[in-house]
Amino acid sequence: MTLPNHMSNPIRRLYKRSPRLRRGARRLKNAGVAGVAAGALWLLRSVSLERALRWGERVGALLYRVLGKPRRLAHEHLSAVFGDTLTETARARLARASFINIARCFCELAHIDTIRARQDAYIDVEGLEHLQAALAEGKGVVAVTGHIGNWELLAAYVAWKGFPVAAVARRIYAERLNQLLVDFRARQGVETILRESPHSARQILKVLKSNAVLAMLIDQDTHAPSVSVPFFGRLARTPAAAAALAIRRDLPAVAVFIQRRSEGGHRIVFHPRITIVPSGDRSADIRRLTSLFNAAIESQIRRNPAEWVWWHRRWRRAPQPHLDMDEDFQYTNADVAQHGRG
């Protein structure tokens, strides 16, 4: 129910002026979100994986219809990226498919034990030799990917195959939901490093020292040290941590993506190592390497546009002309010296 202006405005003012009221409202919202997620997981586990995926397709289509703002953002971004090369009908079809993909991903997470039991039939892999060659150097690997396909299943599968994996992730605002996801990853053998944690730098360097795979999703505009580099023909603020770590510690970096197969299940593709010739200007090198990471992600999205989260506001902030990485980036040479180079 929408309140008349003369009633709603005082309520809004009271809400804005009362930290206690805002905290209480957030707690209720967070508990509600976590409760719905837990209930949905329980319900999905009560049916087969195949039926759950069919439900996911219907729920995703419904979400596309009822979530007006994300739908509009998805249409805007598809129009900005593809322009007249796609008809309005085709863009709407892709936007709808991206909602369906997310719903199906959630259904797969509910049935992760079933998928693990049949992993070799459900998932095939190309280019695993690129990851193996990178790990053979003994320094750890930066694995770059994006919010494309079922990225949680991607990390889980790599861990199932015996590779130590840690994923750098943003803390979800709903604490119970965040813990649900952290616990899920842990059960699959994936360590979560929360980007906001004051210990994240130490955790990252410990992971690299143990010659593990450090998974980093860099396809969103987040409040993290970033550089503005091209993405679909426009400058986009892109997290710089992956490139900065690779350059400062001379680490191998590979791009890896997961995509649904037409016959069902998924295909994971590891790409050859992404490298640059050092110029002596570390900030410029970080920008160049981040540009190559973005190009790999853009190429995958063009191959598989139905599985990217088109409603994320990728270009929400204006490009920034300069970022002093030594000043603003937390993984400094002092950190490296303190914790060793692995």
Q: Quick one: which of 106, 122, 113 has its CA closest to 180?
A: 106
**What does the pLDDT look like over 182-210, one tens digit per residue?**
999 999 999 999 998 999 999 999 999 99
**What does the pLDDT look like over 1-48, one tens digit per residue?**
444 454 456 666 655 666 666 666 666 766 677 788 889 999 999 999
88-110 vs 68-82: helix axis angle to the nearest 10?
Answer: 120
Task: Indicate the domain borders of the chain.
Answer: 15-110, 123-339
Report pTM.
Answer: 0.88
Cα atoms in the 13 Å half-sphere on the side-chain side of 195: 21
Q: Which residues contact 14 (CB under 8 A, 6 or more apart)?
A: 21
Please give the angle made by the CA atoms of 205, 275 and 246, to the nearest 5 degrees. 10
Quick check: 188 and 112 in contact, CB under 8 A? yes
CB burial of residue 322 (10 Å; 0-12, 13-18, 19+): exposed
